[in-house]
Amino acid sequence: MNSMSRAYSNQYRENYYKEEDECPTIIKCSGPSSTPIPVLTLGEGISNVELPLASITLDTSCICDPIVKLDFSTNYVVPVSVSLVGGSIVLRVYKQCRGQATRVPVGTAWAISGGILGIEVFEASIASFTTCDTDSCGDECCTYTVVATVNAIADVALGAAFNNSTLSAVVTCKNSCHKCKKNHDRY
């Protein structure tokens, strides 16, 4: 290795760690999960039943003025033996941080088009959305959960479910700071 390449390598390393100190990034994903919709008989109905679909916990203590981008997707499956009498499904992200007694909604609510429809032989649709949480404070450990609220008066058979629900997050800072110091000498 000649002296020019060593100088370039050292400069690159210094710039890399300088950027990392200014604004670290966290990427986290939940594992896929499946959540069945409760079985109903005609006329029984359910009202405001909340089904948690996916959840992740983020520790933003190393990030100044964090911004959290959340991406959610699920495969909503309805078997043939579901007949619509009335109903709706609304998806919403909630955040609950350390020391909070109640959860707080993040972003807007998302309605699944068609609600509890199951007219075809087998219906499956993908629901996905992105939202951002810009109201976080530093030094927080928060759990983000996507909840489906189901309201239905229907004959729902076994098999209606949310499959492969996943939630992922990318966290970075809106403003730079030097909160997380690294020992750069080891590199």
Q: What confidence score (pLDDT) does residue 58 get?
A: 92
Q: Is the pLDDT of residue 167 over 90?
A: yes
Q: How far apart are the C-alpha atoms of 44 and 74, rounded to whole Å?
A: 26
Q: Give the chain's length.
A: 187
**With b meaning 16 or more CB within 10 Å and e meaning fewer, what string describes 15-48?**
eeeeeebebbeeeeebeebeeebeebeeeebbee
Q: Is residue 8 part of a domain?
A: no
Interior angle at CA 59, CA 145 and CA 69, nearest 5:
55
Q: Is residue 85 part of a domain?
A: yes
6-26, pLDDT tens digit by residue?
656 666 656 555 555 577 899
- CATH number of the domain where residue 86 is located: 2.60.120
Q: Is residue 15 part of a domain?
A: no
Please give the structure tokens belonging to residue 97. 């941080």
What is the band of 159 on the pLDDT scale with cuts at 50, 70, 90? Answer: low
Work out how many domains the chain is built from and give that number.
1
Q: What confidence score (pLDDT) does residue 182 get?
A: 47
51-100, pLDDT tens digit by residue?
999 999 999 888 888 899 999 999 988 765 555 545 678 899 999 998 88
SS3 of residue 14 by DSSP: helix
What is the band of 119 on the pLDDT scale with cuts at 50, 70, 90? Answer: very low
Residues β-bridged to residue 103: none
Q: How far apart are the C-alpha atoms of 23 and 176, rounded to whole Å?
A: 5
121-133, pLDDT tens digit by residue?
456 778 899 999 9
Q: Is residue 14 part of a domain?
A: no
Between residues 159 and 61, which one has the greater pLDDT? Answer: 61
Residue 144 is part of which domain span?
A: 35-173
Q: Is residue 129 part of a domain?
A: yes
Q: Is residue 41 part of a domain?
A: yes
Q: Is residue 181 part of a domain?
A: no
SS3 of residue 102 by DSSP: coil
Would you say 68 and 179 are in contact if contact means Cβ atoms under 8 Å apart?
no
Between residues 34 and 81, which one has the greater pLDDT? Answer: 34
